[in-house]
């Protein structure tokens, strides 16, 4: 039963640590990506369809000025940058310099646009809605629609991991309590004699507490080893080198997760032991 307790605690604490590390990475990536997100407002050309465009007509200078004034007056907007067709074409040539598609486009095929930076990147919905309603706007491109589903699924994975670890931690707590209860029951006569000769509660409780703590600490060591190995193999060796566009959690975050797991492991060993031995301390 002690081996079962150690294994259950090791697995459950490993899952808990993985959930904590996932939460740290999601928050770090969300903060970094949201700070870099810009809203792009593309204006109409003679060939544009949809949006607030008139058939066969591009955005007029008056409409362009009105769009810029409206965007700049929005309190959620920190900066508005205009990009002309010529600037868009130069960027297109730079990005597709090695592609034959460059020869098939001219500056007149490009769309001029506004790039918007927000005061709080998470408050994007109102700005997007306002921009889409302006006359002369063909389309509003917002990367939040791409990132939100990704963060949603990562958050779901994080909570699924933590939920599974919580169930296993509950199982480990019950196993610890049952193991200590059986040990106390088999030694009930010895406990009774110690009580009769005036032994203190802490003297009687100490062997059971040490037994549970040792099992808990071994479980913590197993979890710490699993988390360190997983962090090195997944994050350091692969993710940090193959996906450089994202910020990644570091060794300091791993240490924080291990310390949190250790605190949970110690509490998981002590609390069930105290509850399971209350009856026998009153003999």
151/132 same-domain check: no
Q: For 91-134, how does the pLDDT look when each residue is reduced to its tens digit (9 = 90+)?
A: 878 877 777 777 777 777 788 899 888 888 777 888 888 888 88
CA 253-215-254 angle, 5° bins: 5
Closest by CA position to 174, among listed 96, 251, 33, 276: 276
Confidence of residue 1 (pLDDT cuts 50, 70, 90): low
194/82 same-domain check: no
157/202 same-domain check: yes
43/131 same-domain check: yes
pLDDT at 230: 92
pLDDT greater than 80 at residue 86:
yes
155/74 same-domain check: no
Strand duo 39-43 + 113-118: pairing? antiparallel
Q: For 37-76, how does the pLDDT look when each residue is reduced to its tens digit (9 = 90+)?
A: 778 899 988 887 888 888 878 888 899 999 999 999 999 8
216/79 same-domain check: no
Last residue of a domain, one of 142, 173, 193: 142
Last residue of a domain, one of 103, 124, 142: 142
127/265 same-domain check: no
Confidence of residue 221 (pLDDT cuts 50, 70, 90): very high
Domain assignment of residue 92, given as a range: 38-142
**What 3 state SS string does 150-218 have?**
HHHHHHHHHHHHHHHHHHHHHHHHHHHHHHHHHHHHHCHHHHHHHHHCCCCHHHHHHHHHHHHHHHHHH
159/210 same-domain check: yes
152/233 same-domain check: yes
Q: How far apart are CA 208 and CA 213, in angstroms?
A: 9
Does residue 135 or residue 1 have the better pLDDT?
A: 135
pLDDT greater than 60 at residue 283:
no
Helix axes 251-276, 2-36, angle to 10 degrees: 140
21/64 same-domain check: no
- Helix (H), strand (E) at residue 137: strand 137-142
Q: How many residues does the chain have?
A: 283
Provide mean pLDDT across the span 125-154. 82
Does residue 161 or residue 13 have the better pLDDT?
A: 13
Q: Exposure pattern of 233-268 as b/e (b: 16+ CB <10 Å)? A: eebeeebeeeeeeeebbeeebbeebbeebbebbeeb
155/29 same-domain check: yes
Is the CB of residue 220 less than 8 Å from the CB of residue 265? yes
Residue 132: CATH number of its domain: 3.30.70.3040
What is the Cα gyration radius of the chain? 31
Give the count of domains, the chain: 2
Distance from the Cα of residue 247 to its chain's centroid: 12
Last residue of a domain, one of 95, 117, 142: 142
48/26 same-domain check: no
pLDDT greater than 70 at residue 166:
yes
């Amino acid at each position: 039963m002690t081996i079962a307790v150690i294994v259950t605690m090791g697995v459950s604490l490993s899952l808990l640590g993985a959930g904590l590390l996932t939460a740290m990475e999601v928050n770090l990536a969300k903060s970094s990506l949201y700070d870099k997100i810009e809203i792009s407002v593309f204006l109409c050309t003679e060939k544009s369809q949809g949006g607030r465009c008139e058939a066969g007509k591009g955005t007029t200078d008056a409409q362009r000025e009105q769009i810029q004034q409206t965007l700049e007056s929005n309190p959620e907007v920190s900066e508005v940058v205009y990009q002309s067709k010529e600037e868009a074409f130069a960027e297109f040539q730079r990005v597709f310099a090695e592609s034959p598609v460059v020869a098939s486009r001219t500056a007149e095929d490009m769309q001029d646009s506004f790039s918007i930076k927000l005061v709080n990147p998470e408050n994007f919905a109102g700005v997007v809605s306002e921009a889409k309603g302006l006359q002369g706007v063909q389309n509003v491109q917002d990367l939040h629609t791409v990132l939100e589903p990704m963060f949603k699924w990562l958050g779901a994975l994080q909570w699924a991991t933590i939920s599974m670890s919580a169930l296993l931690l509950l199982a480990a707590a019950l196993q610890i309590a049952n193991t200590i209860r059986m040990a106390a029951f088999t030694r009930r006569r010895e406990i009774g004699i110690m009580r009769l000769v005036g032994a203190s509660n802490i003297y009687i409780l100490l062997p059971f507490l040490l037994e549970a703590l040792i099992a808990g600490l071994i479980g913590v060591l197993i979890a710490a080893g699993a988390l360190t190995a997983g962090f090195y193999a997944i994050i350091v060796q692969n993710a940090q080198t193959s996906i450089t566009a994202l910020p990644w959690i570091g060794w300091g975050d791993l240490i924080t997760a291990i310390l949190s797991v250790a605190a949970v492991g110690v509490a998981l060993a002590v609390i069930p032991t105290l509850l399971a031995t209350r009856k026998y301390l009153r003999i």
